[in-house]
Amino acid sequence: MTRSKKWLIGSIITLVALGLVVYPNRESIVLNTLSFALKQLRPVGAFQEIAWSTGTDPQGRSPAKRLPNIVLILADDLGWNDLTFGGGGVAGGTVPTPNIDSIARQGVNFTNGYAANGTCAPSRAAIMSGRYGTRFGFEFTPTPPGMMQLAGLVPRDPRRLREIIPIRDAESVFYDDMGMPASEITLAELLADAGYHTAHIGKWHLGRANGMGAHMQGFDESLLMFSGLYLPQDHPDVVNSKQEFDPIDRFLWAAMDFAVSFNGGEPFAPDRYLTDYFTAQAVAVIEANRDRPFFLYLAHWAAHTPLQATREDYE
């Protein structure tokens, strides 16, 4: 046998061996590569303190005559029957929601609520604009580059709740450019014109570029959920619950960081569990604006996946 034939046979054997190793593990290899690449492309800085602006009523009114403050709290992926007030609560009532329940008991509880869209981001656009997303071409939830393609690599699992239906037209647009057009008039813009100081904390999901970011859509200040982990995966005080049957969940664990950004600045790490951090910052906004009318849009990421809890809460 000639040397060239030996080399060819050896190469074929090597490729077959690599194929036998790589193909069954293709998903893990791709996701690990994605995770490494994203961490290099978008490094997350150290924790930063935020100095929320303070001020007085622009019209000099007394507290009794001042416009009422508005705090809009939006939870993510929270069903009405997940609340103990709404019928027992999640897990047979083992996770009570006393603070939300008290708001319902002391205020007004609407039992018939309808979303303007059955998916995440377009329904948020409707809340902010008062219009159906189809009116301005925002019909699909923006997803990061490669998310749907990678989801397709995951082998079929009998526990999957739904099939992945990729939207090719939506995928052709860069993630930061997907959102509600800057020409839409937002609730924040209307309230700013009425004399309110406006602040946003948490999830936005209505675009970041071309004038679509919260701080460009009527909010004076915006503390953006830049990624989506509640704590770093290797944090000593975190308990992670990975849903292996869900391809989107697998992508989120690989692609997401523990990061926020302020008014379009560079991303940095919060100093505590994300939900607690957003809540603490909301309290800081309320305290900073005690002398003027304000609108606070507190858009929590909880209870959306990836599922993470502090060890203290879990135990």
Examine the residue annotation and report whether 200 is marked as an active-site residue of this protein.
Answer: no
Spatial CB neighbours of 80, under 8 Å, sequence gap ≥ 6? 86, 87, 113
Spatial CB neighbours of 154, under 8 Å, sequence gap ≥ 6? 27, 247, 250
HSE-up of residue 141 (Cα within 13 Å, Cβ side)? 13
The amino acid at residue 111 is T
The amino acid at residue 61 is R
Task: Give the whole-angstrom CA distance, residue 77 versus residue 126.
Answer: 17
Q: Look up residue 107 and give its two tokens.
A: 């205020």
Task: Give the whole-angstrom CA distance, residue 241 versus residue 236.
Answer: 15
Single out the catalytic residue among 200, 205, 215, 300.
205
The answer to whether residues 294 and 72 touch, using CB atoms and an 8 Å cutoff, is: no
The answer to whether residues 150 and 143 touch, using CB atoms and an 8 Å cutoff, is: no
Closest by CA position to 226, among listed 40, 45, 37, 34: 45
Task: Give the whole-angstrom CA distance, residue 314 versus residue 292.
Answer: 39
Single out the catalytic residue among 120, 197, 235, 300.
120
Task: Give the whole-angstrom CA distance, residue 294 versus residue 71.
Answer: 8
Cα 242 vs. chain centroid, distance in angstroms? 17
Task: Give the whole-angstrom CA distance, residue 244 versus residue 31.
Answer: 13
Residues catalogued as catalytic: 120, 205
